[in-house]
Structure 1
Amino acid sequence: MGKAFSRLFKKSKDIRVLMLGLDAAGKTSLLYRIKLKETVPSIPTVGFSVETIHFQNLTFTIWDVGGQDKIRNLWRHYYVGTQVLVYVIDSSDRERLEESKQQLYRVLNDPEMREPILLVYANKCDLPGAMSVEEIANHLGLQQLVNRKWNISQSCAITGQGVNEGLSWLANQLTAAKKSMKNTSNNNNTKKSTTTTTATQQPVAEPVRT
């Protein structure tokens, strides 16, 4: 997983983030809470929104794609080059949790999405009856994702609760991947500099005396 993610990280200085989830999960509100640090009235995203943000010396380009049923088949067009998947769940909506799980695994099982790390935001944690992160993680079966780095963070797009905690975890993973990639590169360069090739010298024939 580490080597695979390092390859993704190496492709661009900016981190390509794909933000997905069911409609009404609060993706766009969460996106602008991250970018503007305030609540922005939003309407359901038809198509996509894209924003660039800076966090802990990292630059993220976040693609927020609409979650309505009729456009979910378009999600796959945004997979290529994705380094991070942010999946947003309405933690107060128990009735659609199974649907959200099905859509999540449809994304994760796509060949283009087997390497990105996963950050799940259990959004709308301020609403009555909101599920805990433990309950959501268990229902989603996140513990089974043994070959993928993942985290789940409670969040509220209105107040900002939990948003930075999720981003901090993400930044730590990315920084570690970058450091690992740099160390690997340095080790390879060291090996190259210490490797010598010995040429075989052919004996020079003595001149024949007559």
Structure 2
Amino acid sequence: MNEVVHTSPTIGSNVEEVIWKNIHFLMWDIGGQESLRSAWNTYFTNSEFVILVIDSTDRERLSITKEELYKMLACEDLKKAAVLIFANKQDLKGAMSSAEISQQLNLTSVKDHIWHIQACCALTGEGLYQGLEWITNHIRR
């Protein structure tokens, strides 16, 4: 949101309120390390959206990402949640395109959730606002 923040992997969870276009988002950043995944479902209650950020250069972990995504989508608390996938690090050489990631994740098979994949670069902000715009167009009012 117009600010570059140097990050390190999330240990546990972080919460932040983001206000964009008069809409308040309460966003939970829950770490992706294997030891934290079993606790993810404690954050799912009343969630309208899941935002999954993928490192577009990390081909090796994409199969794990796919497995975890489908586990999340099977959770009762997320049965009405829409899914936004940010294909991050598009500025780096060798990054998979959003179409390639979509194919690897078999997103076209996801029929019971509204979903969107958005190419982005968190460092420059490119694509981030388009993803948020997609969310604002799908908020249950």
Name the CA distance, whole Å, in 1 between partners of 2:68 and 2:130. Answer: 24
Matched, 1:70 2:19: no
Matched, 1:166 2:131: yes
Matched, 1:127 2:87: no
In structure 1, stretches of 5+ residues that fail to align are: 1-33, 179-210
DSSP-derived class of the 1:101 partner: helix
Matched positions, count: 141
Structure 1 position 138, deviation (Å)? 1.1
How many percent of aligned residue pairs carry the same amino acid? 39
The amino acid across from 2:16 in the alignment is E
Alpha-carbon RMSD across the aligned residues, in angstroms, is 1.0
Structure 1 position 147, deviation (Å)? 2.1
Matched, 1:97 2:68: no
Matched, 1:146 2:111: yes
Match of 1:50 in 2: 15
The structure with the largest helix share of the pair is 1
Name the CA distance, whole Å, in 2 between partners of 1:73 and 1:122. Answer: 24
The structure with the largest strand share of the pair is 2
The amino acid across from 1:146 in the alignment is K
Deviations 1:96-144 (A, max 9, x none): 1111111111111111111100000001111110011111111111111
DSSP-derived class of the 2:138 partner: helix
Larger Rg: 1
Deviations 1:3-54 (A, max 9, x none): xxxxxxxxxxxxxxxxxxxxxxxxxxxxxxx3xx211111211111111111
Deviations 1:67-124 (A, max 9, x none): 1111111101111111110011111111111111111111111111111000000011
Name the CA distance, whole Å, in 1 between partners of 2:111 and 2:65. Answer: 20
Matched, 1:111 2:76: yes
What is the TM-score when the length of structure 2 is the normalising length? 0.96
The amino acid across from 2:8 in the alignment is I
The amino acid across from 1:41 in the alignment is H
Name the CA distance, whole Å, in 1 between partners of 2:72 and 2:111. Answer: 16
DSSP-derived class of the 1:87 partner: strand
DSSP-derived class of the 2:124 partner: coil
